[in-house]
Homo-oligomer: A and B are copies of this chain.
Amino acid sequence: MSITRYQVIRTHVLSLVEAGQLKSFDRVPSENELAEQFSVSRMTARKALQSLLDSGVITRVRGKGSFVADLQVTGSSLRITNIAEDVRAKGHTFSSVVHSLEEFNASGDVARRLLLSDGEAVFYSDIVHFDNNLPIQWERRYVLREQVPEYLAQDFNLRTTHDYLAQVAPLAAVRSSISAINADAKAVERLDVVPQEACLLVERLTESRDGIVAFSQLIYPGTRHKLGASYEL
């Protein structure tokens, strides 16, 4: 079994990632750069990057470049249920408190997830959802202005952000990652938990056919709430 040229390039880029020289969201050499560096055609270099894309190691954006993926996320296909529906399905009352609904200058992680430059303005909402007056979800959403220009004019006590977004920009894909975090001071205040209590953090990127629509951070009190996922064959 001989080693092919595109496998050499693939291994090279992969080793850069594994050695820590390239970290999550860092830019990966372009097809042309790799082609020249390894003296191969662009199509061969492209095949190496496509292979890394299929493996989930990098993400690629036309016109911008290739970037190291969020390597902590492992691929799978859990199905996350809608919280408002869950509450009402149990016969409980669902309510929300809007703490903030304003413009916001994206930076750091948020900007990178939305593929924006540092400081670009997005719409921002900070809402807590209640199940029978007990806080069960703290939702922070960063919405692209051009995709949803009327976002700030909505009353999210009447309709959830998710329902509104689903109507305005038909969803094409939803990518979520689930992790656990210790509650910080803000979370303690919003969710009425004890300091350092374990909470679920769901980070979600929603896309329509026109591209990214919003990035959301959903925080649940870990002990008070469970995400369900079931699948039958």
Contact = CB atoms under 8 A, between A and B. Distances in A.
Given A179-B225, A196-B196, A75 B71 contact: no
Interface in A151-176: 171-176
Interface string A1-41: 10000000000001000100000000000000000000000
A61 interface: no
Contacts of A175: 228-230
A62 to B, nearest CB: 12
A interface, size bucket: 35 or more
Nearest to A78: B229
Nearest to A11: B91
Counting from the closest, the 6 A-B pairs by CB-CB distance are: A180-B222, A198-B198, A180-B198, A73-B228, A78-B229, A175-B230
B77 A80 contact: yes
A83 interface: yes
A23 to B, nearest CB: 14
B173 A228 contact: no
